[in-house]
Amino acid sequence: MLDKYQIAQRIAKEIKPGSYVNLGIGIPTLVANYIPQSWNVTLQSENGLLGMGPFPTENEVDPDLINAGKQTITMSVGASLFSSADSFAMIRGGHIDLTILGAMEVSENGDIANWKIPGKKVKGMGGAMDLVASAKHIIVAMQHVSKDGKSKLLEECTLPLTGIKCIQRIVTELAVLDVLPEGGFKLLEIAPGHTVEDVKNATEGKLIIPDNVLEIELD
Amino acid sequence: MLDKYQIAQRIAKEIKPGSYVNLGIGIPTLVANYIPQSWNVTLQSENGLLGMGPFPTENEVDPDLINAGKQTITMSVGASLFSSADSFAMIRGGHIDLTILGAMEVSENGDIANWKIPGKKVKGMGGAMDLVASAKHIIVAMQHVSKDGKSKLLEECTLPLTGIKCIQRIVTELAVLDVLPEGGFKLLEIAPGHTVEDVKNATEGKLIIPDNVLEIELD
Amino acid sequence: MSKVFQNSDLAIADVFESASIMLGGFGLCGIPESCIAALARHGVSQLTCISNNAGIDDFGIGILLKARQVKKMISSYVGENAEFERQLLSGELEVDLIPQGTLAERIRAGGAGIPAFYTPAGVGTEVAKGKEIREFNGKLYLLEYGLTADFAFVKAWKGDTMGNLIYKGTARNFNPMMATAGKITIAEVEELVPAGTLDPNEIHTPGVFVQRIFIADKNEKRIEHRTIQTESHAG
Amino acid sequence: MSKVFQNSDLAIADVFESASIMLGGFGLCGIPESCIAALARHGVSQLTCISNNAGIDDFGIGILLKARQVKKMISSYVGENAEFERQLLSGELEVDLIPQGTLAERIRAGGAGIPAFYTPAGVGTEVAKGKEIREFNGKLYLLEYGLTADFAFVKAWKGDTMGNLIYKGTARNFNPMMATAGKITIAEVEELVPAGTLDPNEIHTPGVFVQRIFIADKNEKRIEHRTIQTESHAG
């Protein structure tokens, strides 16, 4: 079973050199740690920065420089700053190559729920609905099953939706899967030490198992 | 009868200190010459400049600094530069206090025609349609009658329209008039040496003549 | 006729009961701290506050919430404020949650004289309830409306006496659009310089959008998540 | 993988027959001179050119018109070009005239993923023909659509190797929006500097929008109306 760092590490392998990537809060933020400098990947932060660098040292901390998770950050070489309207114009216009975000549930037709749990504290969707409705390519980092053993890869989402028919790929502690355009989770890779049967048991939605399923490789 | 410089001079008196003004091509451009520096009026040029200064000296000429009439210009103190989209956002959003432009025809309900003459060379509307549809307050500088003696203040425009029900005030070689919200040209001032009868004869649209009509005063 | 005000209290003195106010900032970054403090002193209530976030309990809009001055919040994310949660559950506070990009674009549209536009964010979700849905090139979009307010409070880094503004870092965020969408826009700046000092090519908000400007009384700039690089930092 | 191209010919080498191209500039100010010259050498035709103006007879888009490379112009003002007029009257050329603010906003919308928006420009005129008219708050508006193109040619003052751009003076005009609305955006710059040289706070066009960048072969910057202050200048 992959831990959250390994999920992030596996997702990093999906990133193309030279691409522009938006990383959501949580596991997606960790992905940055596994992108080699030499790939020239540019990270976008939807609060108005293209070219997000690592967290600052104590001396570098600048309250006027934060990411979408409200953490202090730095700028990478060649960064640019802009307004929230310009930032979402960039996102909505399809200029960001890849969006990586977390999810509470994903359905077999690519719907995603990741912003609200009825009865729990109201927080708001932030930029999540804009990101899922606009991104060219989305990868979700999520837990395959909840702590009480319920599958989060469902036939239909039970939680309030963030977006519909928008998720293409999912990386969980158990597997890498694609959501097929015609519906269904196609199993691509399994975590070391696990079987197709494990993934089957953990997936409530339609699971498609091709002949050749690889083992997840981490460098 | 006012000449074009006097029309410009009379229009300048309509400008409020501290206001933001867009000047069209032709007579409106001349208005700038009659705005005292002390009024702190800021001129907008819709190609992306707020704070247009006078024409440059020979040494100041910069091909990267032109006005909407494609003339070389300078920037005044406190000027700012922006894109055409931002410029028309400023115009459309009603942030410019006053727009002064020329017209071929104005109708008694405030329609304006100033961009196209059927059968003549095609030029295009440029920013005129945006300006007339969006400006908070518009003053038109125009000839009351054409060279062949036809009135240009009409019941209805005969030329292709630039905008409808948008003109509030007109300054011609003969008179200053308001277009009333309920329709009709209300005579406010007459050029020195002219009579109400002259204006009547020169106005095809409905002319409303109040009891006290002043003579146009130029300083 | 000068746009320059001597302090925050004078700049916001005419904010009235039940006014709508846009407040710049993302989290606690780039928020109009001085205006908020002055508004708390000023004391009017029943306000509608349009701001991406609602501050924290004792900073930002949290101060106005605690003083019960806010009737309604229009925001995209309000998760960092316990008092907010309490007032919301007790029915004292209304909240209108809007996707962040839609909120930013609605404010931009409001300032730009665009009454309405179509956006894909929220299609198929509860955000779409009651909204016009329309298809363009095979994709579904929602109709969203331009947003303006009686006042806009913005925070800038540098400003000049004609109201031109330059923001710094990610403290820019919602401030530039809000500056265009307030009937009266009030800018607090860290540094106020004479007109002509700022390079016209580097100005983010042209002065036409700013009706009042003053030197911020305070620039506390509280940090929400002070995150420091550790030795173990990979990559 | 570098965005930097050695010259204009290489940068525009894949522009194809019948492509749609946005070209920045207002009049002759801020036009992509080098790209236009290269496109004339390249020789493809049946192009749709989206540009506020159509150049003059021997400069700007006028060069492409003379070479009969343009099938259609989408512009707001084309009055300064006799060859344009001739081709239009003879039916060799189509023209779509769009109010300048609508053109600017349609391009901005195209780049920003807004499929359509409402604007008041053109209501009651021939521009409104065939368009949806809708009332918001008692005022009438037209529905207008976002605009994109296969290529966008933009001219900037300074650019860096990651494609970040800074424009100069009123040479900015349509360039920033067009940079966002081209499937492939090609920037010619007067000065090309290493990434990290430009202040992130002063960048007008973030590099994500620019796929190719090169140092302009020429910066002739012809002036349409050289207007000089005379002694008799009043005020």
* DSSP, residue by residue, B197-216: HHHHHH--S-EE--S--EEP
The stretch C100-116 carries a mean pLDDT of 98
Chain B closest-CA separation from residue C14 CA (Å): 21
pLDDT tens figures, B54-69: 999 999 999 999 999 9
Chain C closest-CA separation from residue B81 CA (Å): 5
The pLDDT-based confidence of B219 (bands split at 50, 70, 90) is confident
3-class SS at D100? helix
| Strand locations in chain D (E) | 20-23, 47-50, 70-75, 94-97, 116-119, 133-136, 139-145, 149-160, 165-166, 182-193, 212-215
pLDDT tens figures, D96-145: 999 999 999 999 999 999 999 999 999 999 999 999 999 999 999 999 99
| Domains of chain B (ranges, CATH numbers) | 4-43+85-214 (3.40.1080.10)
From the candidates A46, A105, A108, A204, which is the catalytic residue? A46
- Cβ neighbours, 10 Å, residue A116: 21
Among C27, C127, C229, beta carbon nearest to A57: C229
The stretch A16-42 carries a mean pLDDT of 94
Backbone Cα Rg of chain B: 17
Q: Are C48 and C202 in contact (CB under 8 A)?
A: no
Interface contact flag, C115 D167, Cβ < 8 Å:
no
Q: What is the pLDDT of residue C234?
A: 45
Residues on chain C touching D134 (C-beta within 8 angstroms)? 116
Task: Tell me: pLDDT of B91 over 90.
Answer: yes
Chain C closest-CA separation from residue A107 CA (Å): 13
Among B17, B49, B96, beta carbon nearest to C1: B17
The residue of chain A with its CA nearest to that of C232 is A33
Chain A closest-CA separation from residue C106 CA (Å): 9
Interface contact flag, D26 B134, Cβ < 8 Å:
no
Amino acid at A189: E
Task: Note whether A122 contacts C: Cβ–Cβ < 8 A.
Answer: yes
Task: Tell me: pLDDT of A144 over 70.
Answer: yes
Interface contact flag, B81 D123, Cβ < 8 Å:
no
Q: If 0-12 CB within 10 Å is exposed, 13-18 middle and 19+ buried, where does residue B33 land? A: middle
Interface contact flag, A122 C168, Cβ < 8 Å:
no
Q: What is the pLDDT of residue D82?
A: 84
Token pair 């309490």 is found at C86
Helices (H) and strands (E) in chain A, counts: 5, 14
Percentage of chain A beyond pLDDT 90 is 94
Task: Note whether D194 contacts C: Cβ–Cβ < 8 A.
Answer: no
Token pair 């906003």 is found at D105
Query: C118, C147, C180: which to substitute to probe chain D, counting the most D Cβ within 10 Å?
Result: C118
DSSP string, C152-204: EEEEEEEEETT--EE--GGG-TTHHHHHHHEEEEEEEEEEEE-TTSS-GGG-S
What pTM does this model have? 0.97
For residues C79 and C81, give the distance between their C-alpha atoms in angstroms, rounded to a whole number.
6
For residues B189 and B14, give the distance between their C-alpha atoms in angstroms, rounded to a whole number.
13
Sign of the CA dihedral A150, A152, A156, A162? positive
Residues on chain C touching B42 (C-beta within 8 angstroms)? 162, 207-208
Q: Which residue has the higher pLDDT, D88 or D71?
A: D71
Q: If 0-12 CB within 10 Å is exposed, 13-18 middle and 19+ buried, where does residue D221 land? A: middle
Range in A70-79, A118-127, C130-139 with the lowest mean pLDDT: A118-127
- Cβ neighbours, 10 Å, residue C79: 14
3-class SS at A207? strand
The stretch C209-219 carries a mean pLDDT of 97
pLDDT tens figures, C35-79: 999 999 999 999 999 999 999 999 999 999 999 999 999 999 998
The stretch B28-42 carries a mean pLDDT of 94
Task: Note whether C201 contacts D: Cβ–Cβ < 8 A.
Answer: yes
Task: Note whether D202 contacts C: Cβ–Cβ < 8 A.
Answer: yes
For residues C222 and A61, give the distance between their C-alpha atoms in angstroms, rounded to a whole number.
12
For residues A60 and C160, give the distance between their C-alpha atoms in angstroms, rounded to a whole number.
28
Among A40, A92, A95, beta carbon nearest to D209: A95
**Exposed e or buried b per residue across B164-190, where buried means at least 16 C-beta atoms within 10 angstroms of its C-beta:** bbbbbbbbbbbbbbbbeeeebbbbbbb
pLDDT tens figures, C153-193: 999 999 999 999 999 999 999 999 999 999 999 999 999 99
Query: C108, C117, C136: which to substitute to probe chain D, counting the most D Cβ within 10 Å?
Result: C117
Q: What is the mean pLDDT of chain B?
A: 96
Nearest to C110 by CA among B21, B43, D137: D137
The stretch D184-207 carries a mean pLDDT of 98
DSSP string, D102-162: HHHHHHHHHHHT--EEEE-TTTTSGGGTT--EEEETTEEEEEEE---EEEEEEEEEEEETT
Chains C and B touch (3+ CB pairs under 8 A): yes
Q: Which chains touch B (3 or more CB pairs under 8 A)?
A: C, D
Q: Which residue has the higher pLDDT, D78 or C235?
A: D78
HSE, side-chain direction, 13 A CA sphere, residue C179: 35
Interface contact flag, C206 B50, Cβ < 8 Å:
yes
Return phi, psi of residue B172, to 5°.
-120, -175
Residues on chain D touching B65 (C-beta within 8 angstroms)? 169-170
List Cα–Cα distances, B186 to B125, B153, B197, B203, in angstroms.
28, 11, 14, 11
Q: Are C59 and C40 in contact (CB under 8 A)?
A: no
Q: Which chains touch C (3 or more CB pairs under 8 A)?
A: A, B, D
List Cα–Cα distances, A194 to A189, A199, A213, A214, C231, in angstroms.
10, 8, 12, 11, 33
For residues D57 and D161, give the distance between their C-alpha atoms in angstroms, rounded to a whole number.
34
Nearest to A84 by CA among C96, D144, C219, C22: C22
Q: Reply yes or no on whether A60 is catalytic.
A: no
Q: Say which CATH superfamily domain C8-103+148-215 falls into.
A: Glutaconate Coenzyme A-transferase (3.40.1080.10)
Interface contact flag, B36 D127, Cβ < 8 Å:
no
Residues on chain B touching D80 (C-beta within 8 angstroms)? 70
**Exposed e or buried b per residue across C135-162, where buried means at least 16 C-beta atoms within 10 angstroms of its C-beta:** eeeeebbbbbebbbbbbbbbbbbbbbbb
Query: D80, D88, D125: which to substitute to probe chain B, counting the most B Cβ within 10 Å?
Result: D125
The pLDDT-based confidence of D230 (bands split at 50, 70, 90) is confident
Chain C closest-CA separation from residue B51 CA (Å): 9
DSSP-derived letter for residue A93 is T
Interface contact flag, B17 C200, Cβ < 8 Å:
no
The pLDDT-based confidence of C231 (bands split at 50, 70, 90) is low
Q: Are D160 and D195 in contact (CB under 8 A)?
A: yes
Q: What is the dihedral of CA D177, D180, D186, D187, to 10 degrees?
A: 50
